[in-house]
Amino acid sequence: MTCRPRLANGMGLLVLSLTLCAGCGQTTFTTSGFGEDVVAEAYGEVLTWDSLAQRVPDALGLEDSAAFAERLIDRWMREQVMLAQADAQLKEERTSLNAALEAYRKSLLINTYETRYVESRLDTDVDDREVLAYYEDHAELFTLHDHAVRVLYMHLPDPESSAIALGAPWTKRDTRAWDKEVDQLKAWLTAADSMSIPLLERWCMEHGAVHHVDHEAWWRIAELLDEVPLSLYRVEDQIQRTSPLTFTAEGRVYFVRFLEHGLKGKVAPLDVARDQIEELVLQGRRQRMLDALRDTLFQQAWAEGKLRRENL
């Protein structure tokens, strides 16, 4: 005789439908109350209806609930088979395995408690003064492993090449008009202030140019080269150049303006290191909070007589 459980969800109640099959007929009943009756057993371990019902999501319909329950039972029984086999084959290692499990249990309990304690109390605001103080006191931690730059750039299809590709004439008048546009773009890039950057951004959007005009963002050189095909044969000289750089590559015209730089092997500029500093400051706060918690609880346990020890 095989008994298959079926679970259904209706009117907010998880309803258990149990069908007992026998050679002489069929009996079916439903109940919304679950006890400790056993739905499956393996090697002396049991899976109860209550335990099974708690694992079935409330949102599932009748058929899905039944299918989900079937998978849970099958998985549970297979797991018990493997546990029994492992236990039988590893008898000589059981002591060390139990010790490892107990150590893990203790560590998990402590870490979970400490994490929740800190998360509910930690002040995550780090002001500029604290960032600057940490930066000045620990500058050796923030050495650059690659050149870093603040940069503005934009690029778009070369208008002359595009015109020729379309079979349109490119006249001297077109050249003069484009040269005028280039001069204007260079002027905006040279100024790179609160008035010129919005104008530059609007020009880029109107002309469909790919652009980056966030003057506060920092780039690693390797990252920038993925966006702009610079020929940095003398990297340090190039990134220290303050005037706009213009070049054509693969049918596109590029405009680049380096605003600030940090050289590889040198201390990173403060803004480059800011995220790392804020995390280090928070780590320090977490550690101090945990140290205080541990000391307080330890002293409290002594005061309450929960601890004792013999002198060596």
pLDDT tens per residue, range 238-297 = 888 889 999 999 899 999 999 999 999 999 999 999 999 999 999 999 999 999 999 999
Q: How would you label 291-300 residue by residue, b for 16+ Cβ within 10 Å and e otherwise?
A: eeeeeeeeee
Residue 172 and residue 250 in one domain = yes
Alpha-carbon gap, residue 131 to 31, rounded angstroms:
63
- Give me the domain span that covers residue 59: 4-90
| Helix intervals (H) in the chain | 49-55, 62-89, 94-119, 128-137, 159-165, 172-191, 196-206, 221-227, 235-239, 270-303
Cross-strand partners of 248: 253
pLDDT at 1: 39
The answer as to whether 292 is a domain residue is: no
Instruction: Show which of 90, 106, 126 is a domain's final residue.
Output: 90
Residue 34 has a pLDDT of: 53
Same domain flag for 82 and 148: no
Identify the pLDDT of residue 242.
87
Pair of tokens at residue 10: 């209706």
Q: Is residue 173 part of a domain?
A: yes
Total domain count, the chain: 2
In a domain, 69, yes or no: yes
Q: With a cut of 50, which residues of the chain have pLDDT below it?
A: 1-33
pTM: 0.68
For residue 282, tell me if it sits in a domain. no
Q: What is the pLDDT of residue 232?
A: 67
Residue 71 has which token pair?
């998978």
Both tokens assigned to 76: 């549970």
Are residues 179 and 82 located together in one domain of the fold? Answer: no
- Cα–Cα distance measured from residue 89 to residue 83, given in angstroms and rounded to the nearest whole number: 10
